[in-house]
Amino acid sequence: KQEVTQIPAALSVPEGENLVLNCSFTDSAIYNLQWFRQDPGKGLTSLLLIQSSQREQTSGRLNASLDKSSGRSTLYIAASQPGDSATYLCAVRPQGGSEKLVFGKGTKLTVNP
Amino acid sequence: DTEVTQTPKHLVMGMTNKKSLKCEQHMGHRAMYWYKQKAKKPPELMFVYSYEKLSINESVPSRFSPECPNSSLLNLHLHALQPEDSALYLCASSRWTGDLYSNQPQHFGDGTRLSIL
């Protein structure tokens, strides 16, 4: 059974700092891995999707990497801003015909001005 | 602004009421999803529709009844809910490209905050 773990559960950093969020998964048989952002009381905003054949994806100040063999992904945020404060969730889509995303519990990020 | 629109944003209902949640997208996506999210927990998949047909039901109680009347709309009909059903209900959609649909990102709405009295 696929399990996704995100460490740390919460992170607080000063504005301007570069930071890394971690995601690990137990079964490397995945189609893709997706990073989401969720603001309090809101839905999920898709940030980046990395296909199983890819190593990384970039969007603006965000860079996500995927090491499928070791079951790890990182989300790198450069020059953090208070507006980056949110909960960040990673989710994998397992192979085997399942349409289900398996989510981690998220990392709550606070960027202090 | 999200491209998946959910209404209402908030809903309070008694255990004997019947209500419906609505979800709409105009991105041409042919896969649509309902998720349930409790506080401080990740979303849990409830239902998946592909080409307006129910393809996955994650053993959801029958008091939740999904409906996909056309390719842009997804409803969730609620009846005789329990207090533990109070949660944020999220709708999502994604493209379907045959065998490659699994590599398409899911786009989420802002959800309906449901409270059962």
Predicted confidence band of residue A94 (pLDDT cuts 50, 70, 90): confident
**A45 in contact with B at a CB cutoff of 8 Å?**
yes
Of A34, A41, A104, the CB nearest to B105: A34
* Residue range A85-100: mean pLDDT, rounded: 86
Q: What is the layout of strands, in order, in the sheet containing A19-25?
A: A4-7, A19-25, A72-77, A62-67, A56-59
Q: Which residue of A has its CA nearest to B109?
A: A43
d(CA B77, CA B102): 27
Confidence of residue A95 (pLDDT cuts 50, 70, 90): confident
Q: Torsion angle, CA of B9/B14/B18/B21, rounded to 10 degrees?
A: 20
| Mean pLDDT confidence for A62-76 | 96
Distance CA(B63)–CA(A47), nearest Å, equals 34
Per-residue pLDDT, averaged over A51-76, amounts to: 95
Tell me the pLDDT tens digit for each residue of A46-59: 999 999 999 999 99
pLDDT band at B104 (very low <50, low <70, confident <90, very high): confident
CA distance B45 to chain A (A): 7
The better pLDDT of the pair B101, B42 is held by B42
HSE (side-chain half, CA atoms, 13 Å) at A59? 10
Per-residue pLDDT averaged across B28-33, rounded? Answer: 91
> Would the CB atoms of B2 and A103 count as touching at under 8 Å?
no
**Could you give the CA distance from residue B43 to residue B66 in angstroms, rounded to a whole number?**
17
Q: Within chain B, what is the greatest distance between any pair of CA atoms? A: 43
Token pair of A65 as six digits? 């990497």
What's the pLDDT at A41?
Answer: 85
